[in-house]
Amino acid sequence: VSDASGCSMIALLHTGAAKLPQNLPSRARQAVSPLLLAGVLKGYSSIVSRKLASHGFGASMAAMSSFPPQRYHYFLVLDFEATCDKPQIHPQEIIEFPILKLNGRTMEIESTFHMYVQPVVHPQLTPFCTELTGIIQGMVDGQPSLQQVLERVDEWMAKEGLLDPSVKSIFVTCGDWDLKVMLPGQCQYLGLPVADYFKQWINLKKAYSFAMGSWPKNGLLDMNKGLNLQHIGRPHSGIDDCKNIANIMKTLAHRGFIFKQTSKPF
């Protein structure tokens, strides 16, 4: 953001128009010059902050300058939990459907969508599934079906302004399984359409490997360890995993990483 008055103040320092009196002792000149510069810069920062505010940008200058701008207005962090057992049951069904709306400018969470889903093919959760995910039978009994949850996702997307063609958003997952395998597979089994916004995403594992130069074999645990972050909540809780993904993304963004789509177009 440029501002003529702010730039002109900076120009004064460089052109000599804001020179200090020559008769001041050298020590006085050395003491005053940094103060003058600091004052001018502070004034310039204030002007730019007001300019940003007038355009609807509420973030502080510090927040704006701490990392480069991303390609997307919003990141939609998603992490399913599904029915499971050993050996694996088929078909698997989504039982937890969380999404965090992450502001691409501030990398802060702005909104949350979180619902549990009642499985219909295997309505009874296995002990293995409950132990892994922390989801007990009472959390899915009587909950909406996947079709109903997908309808509510669409309503939430509309309410959050994410269906506006001028708003650039993309889903982010820890791996390709959620949107490449799980959702399209279950939708095909149930004869449900898959919305276009689910057909492109960022695999955080790939993004992390691009940024850090190593592949996180153990997913979120390795990424948190590599970035010296504390793990949030319970592993394999969908909503907690989303919070960890968001925290990792924010940390990488502050290090200057620009997130890009990793999925191939359908």
Local confidence pLDDT in tens for the 266 residues of the chain: 333 333 333 333 333 434 444 554 444 444 444 433 334 334 444 443 444 344 334 444 444 446 789 999 999 999 999 999 999 999 999 999 999 999 999 999 999 999 999 999 999 999 999 999 999 999 999 999 999 999 999 999 999 999 999 999 999 999 999 999 999 999 999 999 999 999 999 999 999 999 999 999 999 999 999 999 999 999 999 999 999 999 999 999 999 999 999 998 75
> What's the pLDDT at 67?
79
- What distances in angstroms separate CA 242 from CA 114, 128, 138, 219, 259, one per listed residue? 11, 22, 22, 12, 16
Q: Is residue 151 flagged as an active site residue?
A: no
> What's the pLDDT at 21?
47
Is the domain defined by 74-255 classed in CATH 1.20.1340.10? no
* C-alpha closest to that of 46 among 6, 18, 82, 90: 6
Provide the residue type at 236 as one letter: H
pTM greater than the 0.85 cutoff: no
Of 55, 73, 236, 254, which residue is the catalytic one?
A: 236
Of 55, 81, 122, 254, which residue is the catalytic one?
A: 81
- What distances in angstroms separate CA 221 from CA 95, 108, 118, one per listed residue? 22, 21, 29
Burial class (CB within 10 angstroms; exposed 0-12, middle 13-18, buried 19+) of 193? exposed
So where are the chain's domains?
A: 74-255
> What's the pLDDT at 96?
98
> What's the pLDDT at 154?
98
Q: Is residue 90 flagged as an active site residue?
A: no
> What's the pLDDT at 66?
65
